[in-house]
Amino acid sequence: MDSLATSFKERAKEAGITLAEGQIEKFLLFLQELKDWNRKFNLTSIDDDEEILVKHFVDSLSCLSLVPSEVYGEARKVIDVGSGAGFPGIPLRIYRRELHMTLLEATGKKVEFLIHISRKLGLGTGLQIVHGRAEHYGKKAEHREKYDLAVSRAVSDLAVLAEYCLPFVRVGGIFISQKGKQIGDELKGARRAIEILGGRLRQVLPYRLLWRGQELERNLVLVDKVAKTPEEYPRRAGMPAKRPIR
């Protein structure tokens, strides 16, 4: 695993992230456990070691390396909405242990994996795993507008993600969505939803992942929470995706 560790360290450094040896060990353990569980459950379509390191781990850490430092200046409570197999929440937690991280995931088998890997990596203190839907937990008093930062790598449309994520963010906090290359039309279509839900687009940060000689284009969408989310949002389960705010 020495060559893999060296490769990961180099890829992370290219993205502006310097990892300690102990952190690299945790990432490599995460990698092995992800692959082992992936043989039984469909956690990720990627099963190549270096591809996982770049497209899952380094990509998750882009939320730290690219975002202006003042965004994280007072961020202590973070929620990863639609965490899946733990992206970007677990990589962020490995790198920044001071973050109080909540992983919200609706699929039972993925929640089982999140519980397992959090214990395996020793991330229990300061890490909460919640099994449920954003539409439900975004209404609960213990979660609604209680987070400094919400992050998501979900594939949903940005208007839908805004309704999932902004209800969790306190006024003065921020929502970061990791998106692919083509987001122009998606941004236009989400502007009204963002405004209605109490958000304001701060900026879009383009970046590239280097993978086997290719440059994979990505974007981080940063949305400030500038006003409280109206009580009627999020709507009941399924409605944000079925009828996005336009």
Which DSSP state fits 68? Answer: -
Q: Does CATH number 3.30.70.100 belong to domain 69-242?
A: no
Query: With 70 as the cut, is the pLDDT of residue 58 above it?
Result: yes
**pLDDT attached to residue 16:** 84
**pLDDT attached to residue 68:** 79
pTM of the model: 0.95
For residue 28, which phi and psi values (nearest 5 degrees)? Answer: -70, -35
Query: With 90 as the cut, is the pLDDT of residue 162 above it?
Result: yes
Question: Mean pLDDT throughout 196-219?
Answer: 90
Cβ 103 vs Cβ 126: under 8 Å = no
> Which of residues 209 and 101 earns the better pLDDT score?
101
Sequence-ordered strand ranges (E) for the chain? 77-81, 100-105, 127-131, 147-152, 169-179, 199-211, 214-225
What's the pLDDT band for 1 if we cut at 50, 70, 90? low
Sheet holding 169-179, edge to edge: 127-131, 100-105, 77-81, 147-152, 169-179, 214-225, 199-211
Report the share of the chain in percent with pLDDT over 70.
99
**pLDDT attached to residue 123:** 92
